[in-house]
């Protein structure tokens, strides 16, 4: 049994030809950059920033962003080389298949569900929280706590109209499921149409972030940045899922900053979502590296500035109590008198911004499974295209149900942490993959080459591994259980139906009779 049989790169490239059975190439470099920015600027900056600052890093969450950005930048260079060299859907799954073999490719493809599907679930939970803020601001009404939170959460908020619900236990997060349904319908309609909507949202979202940075800078209270690292004697804070003890190893000091990096790492997963759209890019060899790297650099700068301002407006502990439901709006209302209009505007914009992130995550997930399906590793239903729109519509519906189960019934803290550890694992394998391919196949055409790969690849893997090491044992346990489920599926189903393993070429071009083979 050859677990590490590889998919020839020539075969991968044969699948890039556009046919009636392939994904439609509609995305230019501008759309790819906007796609990356649309995925990056979202829950990471508006929700996970507050979570990392409140629980682990405090004001030093800016340093957490620097650490996470360093790992992402190095991995991003590797992604850019892969995406230019193998411009088809599938992201790290496809790259691993060509370099480390089918078994590793399966692991990474299965692991990417944690990144994309659960990423969409995490952001939809954040969307739900800001949707309630929107209803409160404009209509003086909010959906009761039990219908916007999971069973595992109990209200600890004492601010405004939420005070009456103190101690209420959640049941299901209905708004999160609603936005997933709307965006699933949009994605089924078509990628080009989704990209247009995303471009508009990105413009508004970036403008809001810049506005908060520019206006909020004058209201920074230096006292909230002192001390910059959370001290070990900072005490405890009661939160909706239990108690945060700052005396714990990864809740204060430099280890807290490292743990914070693994939390905010969620904020950077958008750049690699660009790579899943390679088979829908007009000129992937040139445009994919630009889309990945430009969106990453741009968003990193905004993240650092934004987190500095946000942690300077209110105490980091407030992000776990009053500000938890909508930390950005809370900070503006509390620390920026006269700018209530900005808080209202931010709430509306964040709703739109979160929507674009969910859209990109859902699209990325179905494109990964589309490729795995065409390889025979999962059922054909995941590569069944709509007869008119040429989108994997059945896969989109299946993932709507799957993602809704997490969004509706699991707290964002747990879902978000699973996303981070899954993504970090994927990035480690991508860095290793480039290193292996440079050694085993140095002659392959590389439109973009990772500079100083002997340093960049190992260093990227090490930084990501360090962030993984800071994850709690609960996250490791969830990852192991998820991978074990994947192993059962692989050995029980996939290995018996693998096209590469059994010599079946899906969508390849016959060099003698250049027709698209069935």
| 305-322 residue pLDDT tens | 999 999 999 999 988 877
Instruction: Using the predicted structure, report yes or no on whether residue 511 has a pLDDT greater than 60.
Output: no
Distance (Å, whole) CA 349 – CA 432: 38
Spatial neighbors of 79 by CB under 8 A, at least 6 apart, are 92, 271, 272, 275, 292, 430
| pLDDT tops 90 at residue 462 | yes
- DSSP states of 136-182: HHHHS----GGGBSBTT-B----SGGGGGGTTPBPB-BHHHHHHHHH
- Cβ atoms of 327 and 50 within 8 Å: the answer is yes
Count CB atoms within 10 A of the CB of residue 390: 17
Confidence check: pLDDT of 509 > 50: no
pLDDT score recorded for residue 4: 81
- Over range 340-353, report the average pLDDT: 83
At 73, list the tokens.
């930048």
What's 326's DSSP letter? T
- Helices 340-374, 102-139: inter-axial angle, 10-degree rounding: 150
Between residues 81 and 398, which one has the greater pLDDT?
A: 398
- Residue 234 structure tokens: 């900072």
Q: Give CA–CA dist 370/270, Å, rounded.
A: 19
pLDDT of residue 502: 79
C-alpha 342/C-alpha 314 separation (Å) is 16
What is the token pair recorded at 124? 């939809």
Q: Would the pLDDT of 518 be above 50? A: no
Distance, CA of 146 to CA of 104 (rounded, Å): 41
Which DSSP state fits 4? T
SS3 386: coil
Percentage of residues in the chain having pLDDT higher than 70: 85
User: Contact 291/42 with Cβ under 8 angstroms?
Assistant: no
Beta-bridge mates of residue 27: 281
In whole angstroms, what separates CA 157 from the centre of its chain? 28
Under the banding of pLDDT at 50, 70 and 90, the label for residue 1 is low
The pLDDT value recorded for residue 69 is: 87
Sign of CA dihedral 245, 249, 255, 258: negative
Query: For 340-364, what is the mean pLDDT?
Result: 82
Sign of CA dihedral 353, 358, 361, 363: negative
Residue 181 CB contacts under 8 Å (≥ 6 apart), including other chains: 400, 404
Whether pLDDT at 472 is above 80: no
For the ranges 14-23, 86-95, 152-161, 410-419, which has the lowest average pLDDT? 14-23
Tokens standing for residue 35: 């796609």
Provide the angle, in degrees to the nearest 10, between the axes of the packed helices 412-440 and 453-469: 160
* CB burial string 261-295: b at 16+ within 10 A, e below: bbbbbbbbbbbbbbbbbbbbbeebbebbbbbbbbb
Summary mean pLDDT of the chain: 82
- In tens, the pLDDT along 5-24 reads 887 766 666 655 554 455 55
- For the record, the structure tokens of 354 come out as 């979160």
- Whether cis (ω within 30° of 0) applies to the bond prior to 227 is yes
Task: Answer yes or no: pTM beyond 0.85.
Answer: no
């Amino acid at each position: 049994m050859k677990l590490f049989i590889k998919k020839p790169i020539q075969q991968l490239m044969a699948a890039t030809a556009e046919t009636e059975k392939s994904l439609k190439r509609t995305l230019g470099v501008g759309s790819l950059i906007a796609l990356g920015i649309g995925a990056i600027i979202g829950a990471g900056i508006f929700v996970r920033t507050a979570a990392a600052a409140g629980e682990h890093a405090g004001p030093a969450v800016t340093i957490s962003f620097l650490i996470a950005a360093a790992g992402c930048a190095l991995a991003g260079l590797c992604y850019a080389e892969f995406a230019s060299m193998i411009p088809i859907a599938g992201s790290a799954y496809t790259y691993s298949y060509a370099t480390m073999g089918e078994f590793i490719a399966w692991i990474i493809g299965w692991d990417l569900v944690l990144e994309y599907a659960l990423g969409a679930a995490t952001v939809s939970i954040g969307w739900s929280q800001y949707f309630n803020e929107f209803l409160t601001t404009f209509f003086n009404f909010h959906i009761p706590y039990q219908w916007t939170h999971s069973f595992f959460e109990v209200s600890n908020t004492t601010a405004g109209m939420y005070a009456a619900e103190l101690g209420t236990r959640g049941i299901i997060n209905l708004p999160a499921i609603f936005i997933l349904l709307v965006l699933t319908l949009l994605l089924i309609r078509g990628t080009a149409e989704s990209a247009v909507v995303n471009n508009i949202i990105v413009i508004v979202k970036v403008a809001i972030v810049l506005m908060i940075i520019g206006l909020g800078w004058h209201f920074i209270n230096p006292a909230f940045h002192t001390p910059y690292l959370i001290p070990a004697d900072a005490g405890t804070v009661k939160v909706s899922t239990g108690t945060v003890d700052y005396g714990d190893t990864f809740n204060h000091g430099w280890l807290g900053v490292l743990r914070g990096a693994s939390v905010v790492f969620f904020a950077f997963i958008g750049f690699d979502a660009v790579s899943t759209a390679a088979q829908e890019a007009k000129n992937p060899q040139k445009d994919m590296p630009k889309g990945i790297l430009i969106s990453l650099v741009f968003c990193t700068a905004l993240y650092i500035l934004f987190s500095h301002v946000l942690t300077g407006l209110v105490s980091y502990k407030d992000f776990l109590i009053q500000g938890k439901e909508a930390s950005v709006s809370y900070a503006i209302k509390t620390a920026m008198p006269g700018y209530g209009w900005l808080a209202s505007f931010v709430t509306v914009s964040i709703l739109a911004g979160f929507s674009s992130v969910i859209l990109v995550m859902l699209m990325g997930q179905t494109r990964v499974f589309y490729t795995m399906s065409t390889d025979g590793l999962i059922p054909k239903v995941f590569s069944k295209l709509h007869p008119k729109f040429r989108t994997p519509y059945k896969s989109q519906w299946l993932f709507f149900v799957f993602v809704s189960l997490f969004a509706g019934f699991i707290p964002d803290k747990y879902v978000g942490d699973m996303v981070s550890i899954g993504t970090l694992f994927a990035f480690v394998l991508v860095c290793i993959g480039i290193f292996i391919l440079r050694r085993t196949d140095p002659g392959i055409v590389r439109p973009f080459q990772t500079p100083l790969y002997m340093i960049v690849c190992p260093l990227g893997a090490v930084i990501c591994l360090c962030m993984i090491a800071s994850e709690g044992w609960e996250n490791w346990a969830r990852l192991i259980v998820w991978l074990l489920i994947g192993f059962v599926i692989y050995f029980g189903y996939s290995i018996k139906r693998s096209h590469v393993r059994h010599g079946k070429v899906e969508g390849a071009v016959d060099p003698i009779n250049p027709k698209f083979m069935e």
